[in-house]
């Protein structure tokens, strides 16, 4: 597997895989398929050439045989009082390749890229509480649950709790 930062050249394959994720794992994302399918290519072009083009804000893609099989986003806070924090978001791996190390490789690349970010002390994420495979993956890298929001998401009339996790990179 090859991991690389996604760019505007990857818009179509990213969008296609994200839509697949919204169908197959709708509870893992905040947007619904119906919301996402109406987002234009221009919207993604703007994000890939602006917001996600920065060194400290990006989406990584995992590729096998030149096919996108997984992705994960990373965003560094920019305001002075919170720029010691960042967010890992939107992780998705195609179901047929789960438990084959794809998620691990994506997280390891996030950690490698963030290792030298000056002043970065922690990576936060949120995950649906019942998503034990994802939580176990994050825990294997040292992420710890620090809180739970009850009824954080309402999906198809069912409330889901969300766990907030943190990986402390540096001691204060």
Hey, what domains does the chain have and what are their CATH numbers?
2-168 (3.40.630.30)
Does residue 167 register a pLDDT over 60? yes
Q: Is this model's pTM higher than 0.85 or not?
A: yes
Residues, the chain: 172
Beta bridge partners of 162: 128, 149
Q: Label residues 17-45 b or e (16+ Cβ within 10 Å = b).
A: bbeebbeeeeebbeeebeeeeeeeeeebe
Task: Give the whole-angstrom CA distance, residue 101 versus residue 144.
Answer: 20
Say if CB 124 and CB 89 are below 8 A apart: no
**pLDDT per position as a tens digit, 116-149:** 899 999 999 999 999 999 999 999 999 999 999 9
């Amino acid at each position: 597997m090859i991991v690389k930062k996604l760019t505007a050249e990857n818009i179509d394959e990213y969008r296609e895989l994200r839509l697949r994720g919204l169908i197959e794992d709708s509870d893992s994302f905040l947007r619904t398929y119906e919301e996402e399918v109406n987002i234009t290519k221009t919207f993604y072009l703007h994000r890939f050439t602006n917001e996600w083009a920065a060194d400290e804000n990006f989406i990584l893609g995992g590729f096998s045989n030149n096919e996108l099989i997984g992705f994960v986003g990373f965003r560094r806070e920019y305001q002075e009082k919170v720029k010691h924090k960042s967010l890992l978001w939107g992780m998705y791996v195609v179901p047929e390749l789960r438990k084959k190390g794809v998620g691990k490789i994506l997280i390891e690349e996030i950690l490698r890229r963030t290792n030298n970010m000056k002043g970065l002390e922690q990576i936060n994420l949120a995950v649906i509480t019942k998503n034990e495979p994802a939580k176990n993956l994050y825990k294997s890298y040292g992420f710890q649950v620090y809180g739970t929001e009850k009824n954080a998401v309402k999906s198809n009339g069912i409330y889901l709790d969300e766990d907030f996790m943190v990986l402390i990179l540096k001691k204060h």
